[in-house]
Amino acid sequence: MSELALDVQGVTKRFGGLVAVSEVSLQVRAKEIFSVIGPNGAGKTTFFNLLTGIYKPDSGRVVFFGQDITGRSPDWVARNGIGRTFQNIRLFKAMTVLENVLVGHHTHTQQSYFDVLLHTPRFHASERKAKARAMELLAYMNLDRRAEELASALSYGEQRRLEIARALALEPRLLFLDEPAAGMNEQETEDLKTRVRRLRDELGLTIVLIEHDMAMVMSISDRIAVLEYGSKIAEGLPHEVRSNPRVIEAYLGKGAAGQAGGTHAPA
């Protein structure tokens, strides 16, 4: 068994009386494509927010490549190897496509006040390097020709790709994708699947995604965890999860488990 990328141990988050995430434990191996699925309101995005530092868990631990990152701030987590995209796209809309990626590259750009004021060779070198890397990532996401346009001018699918490019600029080891295929047509989803696989195969990234498109989840994931009402109700290989009666019940309601063979996508 390969190295553990993410080791989540009994993480719980309450909002007032509501337990949004309850005692969730799971392990993601390095270079795995791991999906988290579940009905609407199951706590998937809250779970992501707990892992990226937006919320602090009330109890439990999050270990990332052997390092305890529980309760670290979002910017610390981002600087230390976790990139993410958002369910509702959150690009810097008043910036150009290139600038969005450069912001992602922020921590890897070395510039002191001194360099900026005096335009030292180091300043020019750092600007050039950051820009070259950003263009590389845009090319990787097939957006390089639109680098100078405003992010808000991109189509929906392009904006989703730009979010991935921006997250990649952090040079992360693990990428969280929150519903990357939402609103995409079949063609775009196919294209996305290829890109996500390439991220893992070519860049060696570990990928954790939340997704509602079951066809995509089933075909792309190495393993899948299922959340319902904040608790993990199943985990395993795609075919195991698909035929798990509790999962079918969670999606289709009680009594459905007997009828639905589980071959068709619960939506």
Partner 1 sequence: MTLGDLVAILPQTVLEGLLLGFVYAMVALGYTMVYGVLGLINFAHSEVFMIGAVIGLEVFRFWGNPAAPVIANPFLLLLVALLFAAVGSGFMAVLVERFAYRPLRKRGSKNILVPMITAIGVSFLLQDLTRIYAALRHNEFNMQYRTYEALNQVFELPFQTTIQMKGVLIIAVSVLMLIGLTYLVNRTKLGKAIRAVSQDMQTAALMGINPDVIISRTFLIGGALGGVAGVLFGLLYTNITPYSGVLPGLKAFTSAVLGGIGNIPGAMVGGLILGQLETLSGTYLPFLTNGNFGTEYKDVFAFLTLVLLLLFRPQGIFGQNVSEKV
DSSP H helices, the chain, are: 44-51, 74-79, 97-104, 113-118, 121-140, 156-168, 186-203, 214-220, 238-242, 245-252, 256-259
Contacts with partner 1, 14-53, as mask; x by CB under 8 A: --------------------------------------xx
| Close Cβ partners of 86 (under 8 Å, ≥ 6 residues apart) | 163, 178
CB atoms within 10 A of CB 222: 15
Query: Does residue 74 interact with partner 1 by CB under 8 A?
Result: yes
Choice from 116, 118, 153, 237 touching partner 1 (CB under 8 A): 116
Query: Does residue 152 interact with partner 1 by CB under 8 A?
Result: no
CB atoms within 10 A of CB 37: 26
- Grouping H, G, I as helix, E, B as strand and the rest as coil, residue 204 is coil
Query: Does residue 93 interact with partner 1 by CB under 8 A?
Result: yes
Closer residue to partner 1 in complex, CB, 36/130: 130
**Both tokens assigned to 130:** 């950051």
Choice from 29, 92, 236, 265 touching partner 1 (CB under 8 A): 92
Q: Could you give the CA distance from residue 210 to residue 176 in angstroms, rounded to a whole number?
A: 8
Q: How far is the CB of 83 from partner 1 (least distance, A)?
A: 8
Choice from 5, 6, 102, 174 touching partner 1 (CB under 8 A): 102
Number of residues that bind partner 1 (CB under 8 A): 31
Q: How far is the CB of 53 from partner 1 (least distance, A)?
A: 8
- Which of 16-24, 38-46, 164-172, 247-255 is the region at the interface with partner 1 (rule: CB under 8 A)? 164-172
Q: Phi, psi at residue 33, to the nearest 5°? A: -105, 115
Q: Could you give the CA distance from residue 212 to residue 184 in angstroms, rounded to a whole number?
A: 12
Query: Does residue 233 interact with partner 1 by CB under 8 A?
Result: no
User: Which residue type does 136 have?
Assistant: E
**Both tokens assigned to 54:** 């937006």
Choice from 15, 18, 106, 125 touching partner 1 (CB under 8 A): 106
Query: Does residue 210 interact with partner 1 by CB under 8 A?
Result: no
Q: How far is the CB of 166 from partner 1 (least distance, A)?
A: 7
| Close Cβ partners of 16 (under 8 Å, ≥ 6 residues apart) | none
Q: How far is the CB of 165 from partner 1 (least distance, A)?
A: 12
Query: Does residue 65 interact with partner 1 by CB under 8 A?
Result: no
Query: Does residue 185 interact with partner 1 by CB under 8 A?
Result: no
Q: Phi, psi at residue 103, to the nearest 5°? A: -60, -40
Rule CB under 8 A: which residues touch partner 1? 52-54, 73-79, 84, 86, 90, 92-95, 99, 102-104, 106-107, 109, 111, 116, 126, 130, 166, 169-170
